[in-house]
């Protein structure tokens, strides 16, 4: 079973975490011309997941609720359109 990494109730697989760490190192090297190591990239990932993760997660939930509410309205309209 693959290990999960959790930050503020947001779980990442090992593969997802490694991909994010690579992206962080790539960003620092290509945009800031700085080489950072694994520990520094892990610290940055943890910082952003702790600071931004909850807000992004909650925003995604809010967006999903809006989408779901619209689908329920559509379902109600479809239901009443069946009346003769």
pLDDT per residue as tens digits for the range 33-60: 999 999 999 999 999 998 888 888 899 9
Place of tokens 């109600």: 76
- Which has the closest alpha carbon to 50: 10, 8, 17? 8
Domain count, the chain: 1
Domain hosting 46: range is 4-81
Confidence of residue 15 (pLDDT cuts 50, 70, 90): very high
Confidence of residue 79 (pLDDT cuts 50, 70, 90): confident
Strands (E), 2-58: 4-7, 10-13
β-strands 4-7, 10-13: how paired? antiparallel
Confidence of residue 80 (pLDDT cuts 50, 70, 90): confident
- The set of residues, in sequence order, having a beta carbon less than 8 Å from that of 20 and lying 6+ positions away, is 12, 45
Strands (E), 1-84: 4-7, 10-13
């Amino acid at each position: 079973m693959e290990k999960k990494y959790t930050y503020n109730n947001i779980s990442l697989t090992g593969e997802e975490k490694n991909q994010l760490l690579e992206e962080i190192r790539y960003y620092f090297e290509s945009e800031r011309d700085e080489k950072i190591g694994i520990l520094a990239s892990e610290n940055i990932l943890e910082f952003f997941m702790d600071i931004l993760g909850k807000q992004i997660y909650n925003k995604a939930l809010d967006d999903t609720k809006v989408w779901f509410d619209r689908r329920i309205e559509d379902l109600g309209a479809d239901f009443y359109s069946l009346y003769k």
